[in-house]
Structure 1
């Protein structure tokens, strides 16, 4: 009678299973470790460019001008203001109040050249400066000034009660400039207006020049107002970089 092969004892079976399990463990650990390291390197490689791109996106160009004329009334030559406003009450001009003269400033002149029955001429001149700094959260000073420039032009063109409004580019004045002319009736007279809005990099200059004739005198022509306003604005634009020296 053929005998069957002897069966391994339970203790020997358990020993073999343990040996197989121990032999498999290092392989699994190595495989898992390689997989984890590979994923970590991949993620790290992807995150670094994203962080760099984010930093580059927040950079803005520095503002060109960091100050304004300390005295806005001196930004226009005394001879020019005397020609535009012959009988100014205050020849040196009246400066507007400002909490920060490096950011904004203004000045105005007005006067009546009274010739009695032969007629009189009234003139008023006003200039204002607005400077913008660069801000990573908002934008560059130049871009911010460009936006304000557009708003100032639109504001002048939309003057309430204005008639015959015309807007034309003012060549040779700053980075960009627009001259707006119109007439406006007040105090029983018709006033002629010329407003020049100019941007010089991160600074916006708004100059308004107006006048009227009294007692039968003719009001100034729009062409004369624009000519005078443009000349004064050019001087004001030139005063901005001069203030930084």
Structure 2
């Protein structure tokens, strides 16, 4: 009886061992499954945080302002093209924002008495486009407007013998459209120059007619005058970029250094 008690204790101890092993095994499996779920969660959240690449920024607009349309053409040119102009300084058109859109016109009747009279009219207009992420660069938008103005001019109501050719040496691209038009029982000769420089479109129209028996001006003369004025108008636009440009930092530093050296020379006593 006394010997059976120790033996019984040993049997119970051995019987408990498999139970502990099973418990340990379950604990290990549970941990691996939990780790797997965590890894899946971290992987999915990482892919969700990945951002789509942003669209490339559009090219900045070349011009941020426009010149005064009434001052864009030289006074001497106005005198030559529009003799006896009613307003020498031109008549400015209305605009809500002169940095975006503006125009100016001149007209006059040169009365030659019994030889008749010559009428001339000149108009210049500017349209500037800013760069926009959703609409495109200013230059791209101006290119679309340039084509639109050419098509609009060619489709002028009542226009006869419409012809178009490139306007060489004017801006980045230019076209000159010529046509005849009957107005106030007189034959008018027209020339319209549409030009683009950077993000600005320039539209210039010059026309004339002879009254009281005077001859209608020739197509060649009207075209020549329109091209001359258009070149000056485009040059005025391009000059706005130069007038608003800031000097490079190194140049400014050099100017400051020269100024300091000049002040030092004034302060130092001259050698005897």
The TM-score normalised by the length of structure 1 is 0.86
Matching residue of 1:99:
96
Q: d(CA) in 1 for partners of 2:94 and 2:36?
A: 75
The residue number in structure 1 matching 2:114 is 117
Indicate conservation of the 8 Å contact 2:63/2:240, yes or no: no
Q: Distance in 1 between matches of 2:198 and 2:26?
A: 76
Among 193, 203, 207, the alignment partner of 2:204 is 207
- 1:56-95 aligned at under 5 Å gives the runs 57-69=55-67, 71-95=68-92
Ranges in structure 1 where 5+ consecutive residues have no aligned partner = 1-10
Alignment RMSD, CA only? 2.1
Distance 1:37 1:67 in 2: 53
Alignment deviations for residues 204-245 of structure 1 (CA, whole Å, 9 cap, x no partner)? 110000000112211111111111101101001111132340
Q: CA deviation at 1:154?
A: 0.5
For 2:173, the equivalent position in structure 1 comes to: 176
Higher relative contact order (CA 8 A, sep 6+): 1
Shift of 1:116: 2.1
Unaligned runs of 5+ in 2: 1-15, 244-272
Paired with 1:224 and 1:171, the residues of 2 have a C-alpha distance of 17
Task: Select between 12-21 and 117-126 the one with higher mean Cα deviation.
Answer: 12-21
Task: Say which of 179, 190, 195 aligns to 1:193.
Answer: 190
Counterpart for residue 5 of structure 1: none
1:35 shift after superposition: 3.5
Contact 1:132 1:202 in 2 (8 A): yes
Alpha-carbon distance, 1:41 to partner: 4.2
Distance in 2 (alpha carbons) for counterparts of 1:23 and 1:236: 85
Q: Is the 8 A contact 1:129 1:204 kept in 2?
A: yes
Return the alpha-carbon distance in structure 2 between the equivalents of residues 27 and 117 of structure 1: 112
Instruction: Flag the structure with larger Rg.
Output: 2
C-alpha separation between the residues in 2 aligned to 1:198 and 1:163? 22
State whether structure 2 residue 231 is matched by structure 1 residue 226: no
Contact 2:116/2:214 (CA < 8 Å) preserved in 1? yes
TM-score of the pair, normalised by structure 2? 0.78
Distance 1:68 1:135 in 2: 18
